[in-house]
């Protein structure tokens, strides 16, 4: 079999037929060639599984694993458990990457004390065209405390930190810490364990846009237009877990405060989105299960968020109705001008 590759690239595959070959070709075109590509067919029903086998027959660096549908985290864990490289990266099977992505990330992770590196990314549509204004970026580059990436998420909403696909990890970050992706999550599954991966680590943060995330109709991370997907509420569970994690960490009081702000803002945003989509009534029980957490952390909110949060917790329906009414009035005034 020969010596193991330096990098294992895991790509989970579920009904991505129209985009799968293009994604694989962008991986095989890497200027850093010492890698294996693990294609994890997660019970595809559109012919993606056989296509994986065809592609593997054309390039010896590809290994294919077929399994019954278990969700993206299950497929990602399959790749994690079977990876032979010293480093591991993840590429969604409908996305594209730059030819230099893993050469740049591998070089970035060789600095002393650094066991993971990250790059910037952008968003493309089904035709592969860049969608203006949608980027994964971060304010400060260079070697940083990895947990700072989550703090920036809480402060700015940046998703540079809580993603797996824009990073290269020393695989020991998973194996030595006993970390697997949470298979109960269908949304945010690639992010929910990263606080444990980041603990005690330094991340080399690069500005280079090396990853192109594809948005397509009907994909699991799409918000859709008709309804607010119930699976998005997985994010609230993840952010609450992070809040609890930082609440007990010594010297992370700032993280706890900002995690509380982020939890409240995402809760309110999701409530409003579900209201606008028209499926808030059916999702209210799920929201209210989280609201008890929100009630508990009210005293920790920043002053700028406190009044709205208090009013919301007292009567979510009244505040939401007033806010939407005010929004419609403001929109009419803008049109009148």
What is the DSSP annotation of 101-137?
HHHHHHHHTTSTTEEEEEEEEEEE-TTS-EEEEEEE-
Q: What is the pLDDT of residues 3-42, one digit of tens each?
A: 999 999 999 999 998 999 999 999 999 999 999 999 999 9
- pTM recorded for the entire structure: 0.87
Between CA 205 and CA 148 the distance in angstroms is 11
Q: How many Cα atoms occupy the beta-carbon half-sphere of 120 within 13 Å?
A: 15
Specify the pLDDT at position 328.
Answer: 42
Specify the pLDDT at position 56.
Answer: 98
Specify the pLDDT at position 264.
Answer: 86
pLDDT band with cut points at 50, 70 and 90 for residue 190: confident
pLDDT at residue 152 above 90?
yes
Of the candidates 174, 166, 233, 229, the residue with the CA atom closest to the CA atom of residue 198: 174
Q: How many Cα atoms occupy the beta-carbon half-sphere of 302 within 13 Å?
A: 17
**Sign of torsion over alpha carbons 128, 15, 185, 237:** positive
User: What does the pLDDT average to over 298-306?
Assistant: 60
Between CA 28 and CA 45 the distance in angstroms is 24
Q: What is the mean pLDDT of the chain?
A: 87
User: What does the pLDDT average to over 41-45?
Assistant: 96
Q: How far apart are the first and last CA of the chain?
A: 72
Domains and CATH numbers, the chain: 7-214 (3.90.550.10), 230-336 (no CATH)
Q: What is the pLDDT of residues 99-147, one digit of tens each?
A: 999 999 999 999 999 999 999 999 999 999 999 989 999 999 999 999 9
Quickly tell me which residue has 């592969």 as its tokens: 128
Between CA 129 and CA 149 the distance in angstroms is 28
Specify the pLDDT at position 313.
Answer: 52
**3-state DSSP assignment of residue 170:** strand
User: What does the pLDDT average to over 274-282?
Assistant: 89
Q: What is the pLDDT of residues 304-331, one digit of tens each?
A: 455 455 555 555 554 444 344 433 433 3
Specify the pLDDT at position 195.
Answer: 96
Between CA 111 and CA 205 the distance in angstroms is 12
């Amino acid at each position: 079999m020969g010596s193991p590759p330096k990098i294992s690239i895991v790509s989970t595959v579920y009904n991505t037929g129209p985009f799968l070959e293009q994604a694989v070709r962008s991986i095989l075109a890497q200027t850093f060639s010492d890698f294996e590509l693990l294609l994890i067919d997660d019970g595809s029903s559109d012919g993606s599984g056989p296509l994986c086998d065809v592609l593997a027959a054309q390039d010896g660096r590809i290994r294919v694993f077929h399994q019954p549908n278990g969700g993206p985290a299950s497929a990602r864990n399959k790749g994690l458990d079977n990876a032979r490289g010293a480093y591991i990266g993840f590429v969604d099977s409908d996305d594209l990457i730059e030819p230099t992505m893993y050469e740049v990330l591998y070089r970035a992770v060789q600095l002393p004390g650094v066991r993971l590196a990250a790059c910037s990314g952008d968003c493309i549509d089904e035709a592969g065209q860049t969608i203006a204004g949608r980027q994964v970026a971060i304010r400060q580059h260079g070697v940083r405390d990895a947990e700072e990436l989550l703090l920036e998420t809480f402060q700015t909403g940046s998703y540079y930190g809580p993603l797996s696909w824009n990073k290269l990890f020393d695989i020991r970050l998973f194996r030595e810490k006993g970390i697997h992706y949470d298979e109960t999550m269908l949304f945010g599954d690639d992010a929910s364990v990263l606080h444990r991966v980041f603990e005690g680590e330094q991340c080399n943060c690069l500005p280079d846009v090396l990853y192109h995330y594809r948005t397509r109709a009907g994909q699991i991370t799409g918000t859709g237009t008709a309804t607010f997907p119930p699976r998005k509420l997985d994010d609230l569970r993840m952010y609450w877990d992070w809040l609890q994690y930082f609440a007990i960490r010594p010297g992370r009081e700032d993280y706890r405060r900002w995690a509380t702000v982020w939890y409240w803002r995402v809760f309110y945003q999701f409530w409003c989105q579900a209201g606008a989509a028209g499926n808030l009534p059916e999702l209210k029980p799920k929201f209210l299960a989280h609201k008890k957490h929100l009630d508990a952390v009210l005293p920790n909110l920043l002053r700028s968020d406190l009044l709205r949060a208090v009013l919301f917790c007292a009567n979510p329906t009244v505040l939401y109705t007033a806010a939407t009414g005010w929004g419609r009035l403001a929109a009419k005034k803008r049109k009148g001008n």
